Amino acid sequence: MFAPVYPMDLMVYLKNVSMASRHVLTILQGESLIGTCIAFMVHYLMVETDLGRMYTWWHYFRFLVIYFIGGILVGFISGKIMGHLMLSWDNNPIQTILISWVGPFFVYYMVTLAFGSSAGLVTLSVQGIIVAKRKITLSKETRNVLEAFWNCMALGVNSCGLLIIGMAVGFGTMKYATVEDLAFMMFGYLINLVARLLEFLSIFYFLKIIGHGIKFEHVIILVWGGILSITNLSIIMQTYGEPRYELFTKLALFHGTGATILTMVINVSTIPYLMKCLELDTISLIKQANMNKCIRHILSVRNHIIYLLKLERILCDANWPFIDEATKIEHPFKIENIKKYEELENELEFEHLALCPECHREATIVTTVKELEDLIREAKRRVLKAQKVSYSRQYETGMLPLDAIRILTNEVEAAMERDFIIQSKNILQLFKPPKHLVRFKKMLVRMFHDRTVDWFVKKPRITYRRVCYDVVFNAVFDDIMCGVIILNTVIVIAELVLRFKQSEMWNTFTACIAFKSLSFIFFIVYVIEFIMKVLALSFVYIWNDGVVGYFSSRWRKFEFFCLLISLCVVICETIESVSYTAAEDQPSGFAVFVCCLAAVRIARVARVVHRMHPIVEKCIDGRINNRITLAYSVGKGFINGEQDVIHLLPTIVLRAELTEEMKTTVEADRLAITRELGLIQRERPWVAVDVKTKKAMKTILNGMHETVTELKLMGWVDEDEREKLKATIYSQQNFVRHLGVVPTSSPRMIFDEVPWMGKDEKIVKYLWARSKTVNYEPGEYVCVENEPSEGVFIIISGLFKLSYKPDDDTLKSFYKCGNLPVIDYINSPDIDTEIEDFLLSGNTFGELCVLSQRPYSCSIAADCQSQVFFIATEFILEAMTLDCDTLDGLRARMWTSISLGLAHAILMNVPAGFGVSSKEIELSLLRAMVPDLEGVKIFLNNNMVEDIILINGVVMDFNTKVMFYAPCYIPRNVQKIVLPSSNLMNVYVNIKEEVQTKLLIIIGNDVNRNKFVSAIEQMVEYSVDFSEDLDKEKDVKFDDKFET
């Protein structure tokens, strides 16, 4: 660890293999940074000691303090400032490069000027780490330019360094080399390997405990992959020109260069063979199978393009055999035996069929245990791939920060290396505040908050005690005492410096007496403070009230301890003054003891910390909030990924029992994380509001940025106009990036922002005036199964748990009449399974029960102390009469809000949605509406309508007499839709229950909404004479072929 290494050569072999191997690369990079700092430190200490500049323990102690504490502190502060400047000029890559280039040189120069050359490297290392953490928030374009610039700089510096060292070795050291030096060079190479082996064996157990999957094979790679860096040679070159070290430097340069060349020649060239022997170069089976599928998909696209091009008349005479050969691609992983990896894909057949030799019928072969295990493994792998795709999509749209997607991606990769299951407990651990911060905050509370008992101290009756009370319990008195303590601390530090650094000045009688007199004056001030506090607490008796009350506080006990130390210092300094001698070159043992006691007095500076503890506690709360904010972002991304997986499960897992098993697991993880999010919203509502608001703003701005790019591709704007538009959007993105804590939403804001509330101020004011606030205790039921809801509920704070168990009556009504179960936030047509969900702050429930006038099919109970707005059913119905527009009325908005989640799930699984991304479906649903079709008998489809989804009820195709039961997608070739209110519907199907049919209509992208509103009257028929149709069809018997 004392020799810097260069891990970049090993990166070529490790970046595409297992996750544990990537951890090996991370360890090597960390070793390179730490080893460089330690090597420079040791070299500096050796040179300074040899030159006689460092010879006492004080010199070494001061050097270590400056090197570590000073360097780390300056590096942290400068890194924060530099990262802030880089973010300020995020939209200008040139300025960002200048900041990242000039900043480190300037800081290194200032630190070297102030502390010496020893602390500059630590400062730059810490600064680089801080800036790297902030760099991930830069825009993608700026980050790519910055990385390319510094890669070129690193290549140039390494090349120049190697050239200079090569010239120095060739012209200056070769003539001094002997055979013994060659042997010593080989010996140094072997010593380096042995030292690295012992080093990593000592921390091997620790790496296994961390859980990175490090094995003994990886330790061998860590030892063998430590390629010596040219930094070692540059350290030797620092003393190259000094005559005192001329011969030593030249020989050391020869030995170091030889060892470095040996590691580059032997280690680098043998790493592939070593990894092959240790079986670390084989890419995992899952990656192989996934790459095989990707290659086949690319080749199928290639064949399709070739087929289309052959149909072009102009290209008919092209050399197609040559094109076929020239466009073939090789497998990126260079697989020798591809059949070995195709076995996994051959096992993906979920049903093996065989032909019976006797009856000549197909029979299903029962899956063996091994085949079932392989099927489960592949199903889990597909789920993990879908989750990873979902996380990437959320990051691209701005819904996930980079830190959150890194955590989620690492969990997915770790699951692929283990049991193909994301450990939700690892994500749940993020929701717990760091234990060390919590303990530190509790310690501050115990230390500083016990003074609140002073608020209840009664004023003494005697006049002089009352004066002491008014003085002591005044904030100005505390400020004055803090100033006295700071001044005393400065004098104590000056005394320590004079005793050990300027002993000749300290030995003068004037300086000695002056400092000891000041020490006595400060002691008198502290004694007066003690007496005044005792008198101020003496309500009646000095001992029982004053002294006992003084020592009832832990903080005042600490002050009294410091007072006793000051007394001891005064006594010792008095004895030292009596036995004063001015001929001592070094401080005596008694003087060192006095100095140590004086140093203890610096502990009084904790009094200043006491005045600053609210700021410290605020910083701790900020760190905890940052951790909880990250956990909330990770939880939101995880839940969105689980919801996407639930929608895709029927397509990625084709076996029913496996689908149900995976769905149960995914739902359990989703519910656990959802509950934690709900608790955060209750305990720290500002965190939830801050995350949601910022993510929404980032998503909107990213969408605007993509729109600008699309406008450029369509030719609407030129390059200059695009840059101006992008600069405008970048300014808003910088505003969002530097935005502080977003203020929480007030209850009225939550009420106004309900999706179906609309923009009509009269309706909003009407409902607000008739709403009331209701509180619920944990476990208290709000809605009970098979009972109607009393109204609509808007959650202000808290958490509610929804539980649904299907019963026979609900399923019968659903399958025969298309009546949806009365469940809030129903997002799947699969309603014959149990559902559990959590409702969070800002959610609403009760709308479907009010709209359908049917009892609840689920139960909703408070999971913790919660508060809601309640609007009674009668007021909702009255508001619907006031806002009764067919398309934009309150009833239509409520149905639209209820239907969007279900419509998204349906569109994902219909042929029209194949090949369409989830984002495109979400954008199309922005044009959706659920018109109020009460009294309508036939709905006429036309070219203004893109898609129609039956949300509730049953309809019939007028031409084919095919029945459609909700929820389902109505094909685009259905032009006339018969609703249950028509007499023709009753002829073909006998509907005993009252059905409220609702159609979700998605208009075309180029259709104006206002135009569609004006055309809706021509698309519906309220009365139709079907007598002629009935005469034609009275002899026709309608059997099951007309039903679906």
In the predicted structure, residue 190 carries a pLDDT above the cut 80: yes
Q: What is the mean pLDDT of residues 765-783?
A: 90
Domain for residue 58, yes or no? no
The band of 871, judged by pLDDT with boundaries at 50, 70 and 90, is: very high
Residues 779 and 921 in one domain: no
Contact assessment for residue 825 and residue 837, using Cβ atoms and an 8 Å cutoff = yes
CATH number of domain containing 818: 2.60.120.10
Q: What is the mean pLDDT of the chain?
A: 77
Q: Which residue did the predictor score with more confidence, 213 or 549?
A: 549
- With beta carbons less than 8 A apart as the criterion, state whether 357 and 342 touch: no
Q: Beta strands of 726-834 (E only): which ranges?
A: 771-776, 781-783, 791-797, 800-804
CA dist 589 and 593 (Å) reads: 6
Whether residue 375 is contained in a domain is answered as no
User: Where is the domain boundary, 659, 683, 707?
Assistant: 683
Regarding whether 786 and 730 lie in a shared domain, the answer is no
Residue 999 tokens, joined = 């159609």
Burial group, residue 818, by CB count within 10 angstroms (0-12, 13-18, 19+):
buried
Q: 129: part of which helix (H) or strand (E)?
A: helix 120-135
Q: Are residues 678 and 692 in the same domain?
A: no
On the CB side of 434, how many CA atoms lie within 13 Å of its CA?
14
Between 1034 and 128, name the one with better pLDDT: 128
Domain boundary (683, 698, 722) is at 683
456 and 584 both lie in a single domain: yes
Of residues 486 and 880, more confidence is placed in 880
Is residue 221 one of the residues assigned to a domain? no
Tell me: do 498 and 593 sit in the same domain: yes
pLDDT attached to residue 1041 = 32
In this prediction, residue 116 carries a pLDDT of 67
Q: What angle do CA 132, 134, 136 make, to 5 degrees?
A: 80
Q: Are 765 and 883 in contact (CB under 8 A)?
A: no
Residue-level pLDDT at 10 = 64
What pLDDT is attached to residue 653? 67
Q: By the 8 A CB rule, do 954 and 964 touch? A: yes
Partners of 938 in the β-ladder: 978, 1021
What pLDDT does residue 1039 have? 38
Mean pLDDT of 175-190: 80
- 265 residue type, one letter: V
What pLDDT score was predicted for residue 990? 54
Number of domains the chain contains: 4
Mean pLDDT of the region 761-766: 88
Whether residues 670 and 707 share a domain: the answer is: no
Q: Is residue 421 part of a domain?
A: no
pLDDT value at residue 511: 67
Q: Are 131 and 75 a contacting pair, CB within 8 Å? A: no
User: How would DSSP label each residue in 881-932?
Assistant: HHS--TTTSHHHHHHHHHHHHHHHHHHHTSGGGTT--HHHHHHHHTTEE---
Residue 715 sits in the same domain as residue 679: no
Cα gap 182→351, rounded to integer Å: 69
Q: What's the average model confidence in pLDDT over 75-91? A: 81
Of 1034 and 449, the structure prediction assigns the larger pLDDT to: 449
Residue 1038: per-residue pLDDT: 34
Least confident of 10-14, 192-196, 703-707, 803-807: 10-14
Confidence of residue 21 (pLDDT cuts 50, 70, 90): low
133 inside domain? no
Q: Which alpha helices (DSSP H) does 958-1026 contain, by range?
A: 983-988, 1009-1015
Which two structure tokens, joined as six digits, stand for 995?
A: 């059905």
**Which has more confidence, 75 or 990?**
75
pLDDT value for 592? 60
Token pair belonging to 761: 């101020």
**pLDDT surpassing 50 at residue 582:** no
Range of the domain at 709: 685-738
Condensed to tens digits (0 to 9), the pLDDT of residues 229-272 reads: 777 777 777 777 777 777 777 778 888 888 888 888 888 788 77
Locus of tokens 């060349």: 261
pLDDT over threshold 50, residue 273: yes
**Percent of the chain at pLDDT exceeding 90:** 2
Q: What span, in angstroms and rounded, lies between the C-alpha atoms of 389 and 645?
A: 10
601, part of any domain: yes
Percent of the chain with pLDDT over 70: 80
C-alpha–C-alpha distance, residues 245 and 357, integer Å: 93
- CB-based contact 559:607 (threshold 8 Å): yes
Q: What is the pLDDT of residue 810?
A: 85
In a domain, 197, yes or no: no
Domain membership of residue 999 (yes or no) is: yes
524 and 463 within one domain? yes
Is 762 found in the same domain as 733?
Answer: no
Per-residue pLDDT, 145: 83
User: Which of 333-347, 699-713, 760-774 has the largest mean confidence?
Assistant: 760-774
In the chain, count H helices and then E strands. Answer: 41, 19
Q: Which residues pair with 862 in a beta bridge?
A: 800
Residues 826 and 695 in one domain: no
The predicted-structure confidence for 375-417, as pLDDT tens digits, reads as follows 777 777 778 888 888 888 888 777 788 788 888 887 887 777 6
Nearest one of 300, 294, 373 to 335, comparing CA atoms = 294
**Do 763 and 664 share a structural domain?**
no
DSSP-assigned letter for residue 586: S
Residue (of 903, 982, 895) closest to 932 by Cα position: 895
**537 and 678, same structural domain?**
yes
Question: Of 970 and 64, which is predicted with more confidence?
Answer: 970
Last residue of one domain, picked from the residues 824, 853, 883: 883
Work out the pLDDT band at 655, boundaries 50, 70, 90: low
